[in-house]
Amino acid sequence: MEGQNDASSAPRCIGCGSLVRMLYVQYSPGNIRLMKCEKCKAVADPYIECEFMIILIDLILHKVEAYRHLLFNMLYLDSDAYKGILQSSVLAYIFLDAYKISFLNGGALDSSDSLLSAIWCWAKILTGALVEDLVFMLFILMGSKFVLNFSYNIERYREVILAIIISSYLKLFLLSTMVWESPLSVIHIVNIFVLSSNIVALRVVTQSQIGWCVGICCLAHVAKILINHWLLQLL
């Protein structure tokens, strides 16, 4: 099996980031040969033979190679699964932010609330999370456009959005607060890890200098925090 794609979705060498024609050749089931990058002469993507837990550990350690493997070689923009992955990731992203708002507000519901009141409360929280995330993504895209001189290409912007959303996977740790009682500091710790992960993902997907990516992500997260504080005052 050969990894053949056009330039917009071609796989990349996880070491130097260069485009490669294919990642491996499959001779028979379970018998593959990893291909080398023509530029750096190293194996283009050794993660192909790694267990998922190894990849996950390297993602948590913020290794650029692991992010290149995830964002370029596992997720192709023209694959049939791409739209489903993007849609489900967006929904999970908004839900987790809605839960974060509810957690910071001391719980969205009261046992004495009527069903109508509960529905109205959650509608406000979901709307707030949506507004918060739209502002955040707007800052990320504007930064990519004007600071990083991103060319106007809808596929490239979708690539940035997907990279930011997927690199926010550490938000899943918020679900542990449903099981164990946790202090509010957990939210801030998760936010710090998500910020650092977003910076690495933006650097990988835009192939830009780390300093610019730090500035864009920090500005976007500050805007999101301000919107979050404003929403908590309204709830």
Question: Percentage of the chain with pLDDT > 70?
Answer: 86
Question: Percentage of the chain with pLDDT > 90?
Answer: 36
What pLDDT score does 117 carry? 75
Task: Count CB neighbours of 218 within 10 A.
Answer: 14
What pLDDT score does 165 carry? 93
Q: What are the pLDDT digits (tens) for 18-44? A: 999 888 888 887 788 999 999 999 999
Residues 6+ apart with CB under 8 A from 121: 108, 109, 113, 235
Task: Count CB neighbours of 38 within 10 A.
Answer: 12
For residue 155, the surrounding DSSP H or E stretch is: helix 154-166
Task: Count CB neighbours of 102 within 10 A.
Answer: 19
Between 52 and 115, name the one with better pLDDT.
Answer: 52
Pair 177, 103: CB distance under 8 Å: yes
Q: What are the pLDDT digits (tens) for 59-75? A: 999 999 999 998 888 86
> Considering the entire predicted model, what is its pTM?
0.84
Between 109 and 223, name the one with better pLDDT.
Answer: 223
- The mean pLDDT value for 151-163 works out to 80
Between 3 and 201, name the one with better pLDDT.
Answer: 201
* 210/232 Cα distance (integer angstroms): 32
